[in-house]
Every structure is written in structure tokens, then in C-alpha cells.
Structure 1
Amino acid sequence: MEIKPTIIIGLGNPGKEYQNTYHNAGFLFTDYLNTHQISDIQCQILKSDVYMNESGKFVSKALKKSGAKPEGILIVHDDSDIELGKYKIAFARGSAGHNGVESIIKSLKTKKFWRLRIGIRPIRVVSSKKKVVRKKAIEFVLKKISKKDRGILEKVFEKAVKEIFTTKTTQYH
């Protein structure tokens, strides 16, 4: 199935205290699109102006205002189940526990929209007891993004843009 978004909406939390946090990966992606002036993009680029858990309100208003259908939107958000440096593009999937996406599904009464799920989970660490340590999302989603991780996200954004605007398949990276 081909991705042809008419609207790209970045999710995150408004306010200075949330700027440059992992949870605002959707905002950072829209900033990337706006600052890199990518010529292939022929769609509206929006940032939600409501808190993550209320994203459905913003998306619903944006669709009504533009006349777009849910199938024509690309929702960009953080995903704490995907490792930093990776992403997934998905269509018509459940929220997987992401409250912002759940809010959108409830508001639109459909799952039939595109999602760019940007991985923010720290790379797993092996403890001294040879166990893999998996941090809980609450431990990192609202933390400020390090300079190193910001560079990793920029590379993810670059790859995702190339895929969204040049291919017809849904893949995992």
C-alpha cells in the first residue's frame, strides 16, 4: 500500500518543559521536515497543540478543517517499544498502549490512518548479573534528549522521509 499523506501531524506535549524530550519525537520530525525543505513533500505539516493524551481532538479538527480523510494522514509519534535508531511505518494498527494514538482512534472512530512510529527506547544494557535491563517508559520518555541521541534521531528522520516519499511498502527499520 502506498503512503500518500495529505497531512503530516507530529504528536507531542506543548510547553517549554517538554521541549526536546523523547516523548516529543513527533514534533521533532515536523521540525526536521520544515527546516530541511524537502521538495517531494506536497502536504500540510502540522504540530498538535494539545497534550499527547488528547491528540484526538487536534487530529479530528485538522481533518474537518482540511476535508482530508483518515487514510490520508500520517501521524508521527514516539514509540517506547521500538529501540532508538529504528522506526516503523504502519497502517490501520491498534494503539499498542500509546495514549495519544488511542485518543486519535477514539476521536476518528477508525484505525485506518498511517503512523510513523519513532523508536525512543534506550538500547538494552546488560547488567553485571548478565541480565538484559529494560527500562520502563516512565523512566525516559520525558527526559531531555542527549546530543548523541539527537544525532541518531536525525538519521532516523532522514531514512523515514526517504521511505515515505519514495516507496510503496510498509517496513521495519
Structure 2
Amino acid sequence: MKVIVGLGNPGRIFRTTRHNLGFRVIDKFRKRNGLPEFKSSKEFNSLLSRGSFNKEKIIALDPKNLIVIHDDLDLPLGKIRVSKAKGAAGHKGVQSIINKLGTKKFFRFRVGILPQQGKPQGVKKFVLKSFTRKEEKIIKRVVEETVEAVEFSLREGLERAMQDYNK
């Protein structure tokens, strides 16, 4: 069983922000695979959807079976990286998961949001802004690609996804 978490901030005002890229990917995955609507969970302080993919149930929480999808300001806009056992690199949502689990040993799908101009001054303000129209075109493509990468990892394994998607 796998747990797939898309990081972001709850609420309509954050829906299109850079920091909600994880939510966008997991919502697209949910819709594409016929999973039910998200439900709030006070226990996990996140959104959960119970269902199955490729005959595999999705919801347990064992770090080795955890997949976290999130925005990454260290990767260029539109780049995807599958990683395991890495530090949070300043991402507070990822750091919170590491702190609660007591380990970094889980898989992550990191989706780049770094603009061409490089890292902006006010990072917090930047990640809470919506994408520009030009960026949004890239993001629509990368959301699709990330969903495909997650599906691939569920079929072929996370290690194989790292090999195939980190080129």
C-alpha cells in the first residue's frame, strides 16, 4: 500500500500558487484514476483520498511507502526529480514530514519552480504568488508529466522511476 501526499496550502486563495504544485499534481492523479474527492483529515493535517491504482490500495503511512509531491525552488521551472532520503532544503512542509516521521527515508517527486532569473529575494512571498501566464503553460505540461511519473512508479517501482525520470 502507498500513501501519496501532494503538499500545498489549503484554501481557494492558494489554489494557483507555486507552493500548491503538489496539490495540483495529486488532484490531477486523483481525477485521472477515478479516485473519490478529497476529505480533510485532522489526524494527518492533510488531504486524503482512499482508493486504488493498478490493483494497489493507496493510504497507509510507512515511510518507505510514502510518496511526497512538492514544489522545489532549487530546480528549474518544469523540471521533475524523483529522490529519496534527502533533506528538506528549506521546504517547511517537507521538514514537517521529516520531523513527524523521524526519518528522511521516503520518496519525493520534486517539481521545479525556479524562474529563469534565478532564486528570488523574498522566497516566502514568491512561492505564495500565482504562476504567470507563460509559466502556467509549462506547469500544465509538468503536472501531466508528474502524474505519469507517479503512475509509472506505482507500476514499475520507485527506484526504476528514479532511473527513468532523473535523466
Q: Please give the residue correspondences for 1:156-171 in structure 2 after superposition, counting only pairs within 5 Å.
A: 156-166=142-152, 167=156, 168-170=160-162, 171=165
TM-score by length of 1: 0.71
Q: Which residue number in structure 1 is paired with residue 33 of structure 2?
A: 37
Amino acid across the alignment from 1:84: L
Task: Report the Cα distance in structure 1 between the residues aligned to 2:25 and 2:109, rounded to whole angstroms.
Answer: 10
103, 114, 119: which one aligns with 1:121: 114
Shift of 1:47: 8.0
Matched, 1:98 2:91: yes
Q: Please give the residue correspondences for 1:1-150 in structure 2 after superposition, counting only pairs within 5 Å.
A: 6-37=2-33, 57-58=44-45, 66-124=59-117, 134-136=119-121, 137-150=123-136
Shift of 1:165: 3.0
Shift of 1:147: 3.2
Q: Which has the larger radius of gyration?
A: 1
Task: Report the Cα distance in structure 1 between the residues aligned to 2:39 and 2:143, rounded to whole angstroms.
Answer: 16
Task: Report the Cα distance in structure 2 between the residues aligned to 1:93 and 1:30, rounded to whole angstroms.
Answer: 21
Cα distance change of structure 1 residues 78 and 49 upon mapping to structure 2, 3 Å threshold? farther
Q: Which residue number in structure 2 is paired with residue 154 of structure 1?
A: 140
Shift of 1:34: 2.4
CA RMSD of superposed structures (Å) = 3.1
Shift of 1:82: 1.0
Deviations 1:34-82 (A, max 9, x none): 23337xxxx99968778xxxxx9537x99xxx54311111111111111
What SS does the corresponding residue of 1:75 show, helix, strand or coil?
strand
What SS does the corresponding residue of 2:74 show, helix, strand or coil?
strand
Aligned residues: 148
Amino acid across the alignment from 1:95: A
Shift of 1:16: 2.3
Unaligned runs of 5+ in 1: 51-55, 125-132
Cα distance change of structure 1 residues 143 and 81 upon mapping to structure 2, 3 Å threshold? same
Q: Which residue number in structure 1 is paired with residue 55 of structure 2?
A: none
